[in-house]
Structure 1
Amino acid sequence: MPSRSTDQDYRARVARVVAAIVADPLAEHRLEDLAALAHFSPFHFHRVYTSVVGESVSATIRRVRLARAASLLAQGGESITQIGQAVGYDSPQAFSRAFGHFAGQSPRAFQQRLQEGVEPAPGREDDAGAPRVRVVELPARQVLAMRHAGPVATIPHTWRRMEQRFGERPMADWLGLSVGEPDEADGFAYYVGLAPREGDVQDATLEMLQVPGGTWALYELAGPYTRINTAFDAIHSHWMPGSGYEPDQRLALERYLNSPRDAAPADLRTELLVPIRPAARP
């Protein structure tokens, strides 16, 4: 088992590789080049990378490209065929299959869900009972949290580290917390948190966050966690402008209502909460 200092060194070197993939997901990204960037032999690099990130290099490249496709689908303005080609797929069929595995639904269904599922009318539901954005009040709370270090694409690894320590806790205890914009390194922070219990032991990797109470825009997301960032973007771009509210400088929250251990990706439910305040009058 590597020492703590070696483990930290490996994570830092792998983080450089993930940052390079995220910065240019359509580049060729040969294994030999990425291994050289991390100062490993190709064979050793592949094993270390999979251990640290929890997936292969090719899986990360595919996931980052499809996450970019999800963002383009949310923005609109390009056809699904164009978006598929932009992220490296030669045919609409190949793109649709890959995106379906990534997001749990076809690119067209994903795009329609965003357009129809987040509307500028708090507290409403559509005729089928699909969740809409609601405005809610939440009290202040304390959260025992681990801050994520490294590129956004490696956030799942921080979740795994936290779950290794507190994996027995029920899903209702867990939170994702973030502040700032993921695309902007400066000012962005992400934490994996859970409701503290008596006897929890803190160390250098954990901190107690004070989450202030206030007003939040709540949207219940149905489906895989890969949709979370796009759904947050949709709340800001589709719901916020006509809502009478503006973003507040508090932590955004992800509350998990069930677990991938017990539910298929399409059946996952996550409450997304964006901190808001009444919009200033012009």
Structure 2
Amino acid sequence: MAVNYRERLKRVYAAIHDDPARSYSLDEMAELAALSRFHFHRVFAAMTGETLAGALRRIRLNGAAHALVREDAPVAAIGRAHGYPSAAGFSRAFRAAYGVTPARFRARGLALPAALEKQKGGQAMFPVEIRNEEPRWLIGLPHRGAYHGINRTYAVLGAELAARDLWRHSRGMAAVYYDDPAVTPEADLRSFAAIAVPADVACPEPLQRLQIAGGRHAVMAFTGPYTGLGAAYDWLFGGWLAQSGAALRDAPSWELYLNSPMDTAPDALETLIFVPLEDEA
């Protein structure tokens, strides 16, 4: 019987997401993946593109960053809930990843990068242009639940793509967001974690294919932590839209990620936000 490595690695990622505060040993993770301790780390790194230590750090700090923005718990308590029992250790790790202390990150209010905090006269520091886009093809997996939890689905997607040697076709990570989190219960939010690919790339199950319609779009070039994207959307659909006079098309917004949190500091993450628009009359 063929070994299904992607299912084994899914169990590892699921365990980290389910209990980020737990101290995991290499032996425990190897057992969870049903691999020997000797082979586990090499298989994990080869199939996911990150080390186990890197995955733990990324998932914990990403979760902590979202918690700092969304919750009122003390900073030290958030650190403990995400695998950092020492407040000093949490502060050092967070600062190394985000460039600021957890307290300073929370003080930004909406976790905006510094550039977006410096809006003047309603003009954001991140450019928005209206342009015509060609249709694009995505292959990926649906996600249901909080948008900030989509990284769990990306972990599963990564294992599926690696197992099928599909990463080589990637034209960038992408995500489609179907619902407005202001009016939709968090548990019912629908999104799609994906990579952009050429139209002729095969899409084996359980992966799904999705076509993004081309046409007129507002495109915002956002630089900074993903925790700031919600505020960027608020500005885009508020101040910018009112000033532009553009009419929204009945289609979901989507994002294209130009780099990866696996090897890029949060303040340097680059995201293109695409908002479909009606054609000009």
Q: TM-score range by the shorter chain?
A: 0.5 to 0.7
Deviation of 1:117 (Å): 3.8
Deviation of 1:240 (Å): 8.3
Residues 10 and 159 in structure 2, CA contact (< 8 A), matched pair in contact too = no
Q: How many residues align?
A: 248
Q: Which segment drifts farther, 107-116 or 19-28?
A: 107-116
Instruction: Write out aligned runs for 1:62-211 (5 A).
Output: 62-113=57-108, 115=110, 117=112, 125-126=119-120, 131=125, 137=130, 139=132, 141-147=134-140, 151-153=153-155, 164-165=168-169, 174=172, 176-179=174-177, 187-193=190-196, 196=198, 201-204=200-203, 207=209, 209-211=211-213
Amino acid at match of 2:18: A
Structure 2 residue runs of 5 or longer lacking an equivalent are 143-151, 180-185, 243-247
1:178-218: CA deviation from partner (whole Å, max 9, x where unpaired)? 3358x869843211116x5xxx7523369572335566584
SS of the residue 1:18 aligns to: helix
Residues 17 and 34 in structure 1, CA contact (< 8 A), matched pair in contact too = yes
Residues 217 and 275 in structure 2, CA contact (< 8 A), matched pair in contact too = yes
Deviation of 1:35 (Å): 2.5
Give RMSD over aligned pairs. Answer: 4.5
Instruction: Write out aligned runs for 1:35-50 (5 A).
Output: 35-50=30-45
SS of the residue 2:201 aligns to: coil
Residues 117 and 130 in structure 1, CA contact (< 8 A), matched pair in contact too = no
Amino acid at match of 2:177: V
1:39-81: CA deviation from partner (whole Å, max 9, x where unpaired)? 2222222221121112222322222111111011111423323
> What TM-score, normalized to structure 1?
0.64
Deviation of 1:131 (Å): 2.3
Q: Which segment drifts farther, 243-252 or 33-42?
A: 243-252
Q: Distance in 1 between matches of 2:200 and 2:237?
A: 43
Amino acid at match of 1:39: A
> What TM-score, normalized to structure 2?
0.64
Structure 1 residues 247 and 266 mapped into 2: Cα distance closer, same or farther (>3 Å)?
same
Q: Quick check: 1:273 aligned with 2:276?
A: no
Q: Distance in 1 between matches of 2:59 and 2:177?
A: 21
Q: Distance in 2 between matches of 1:267 and 1:159?
A: 27
Structure 1 residue runs of 5 or longer lacking an equivalent are 167-172, 278-282
Deviation of 1:141 (Å): 2.9
Percent identity of equivalent pairs: 24
Partner of 2:49: 54
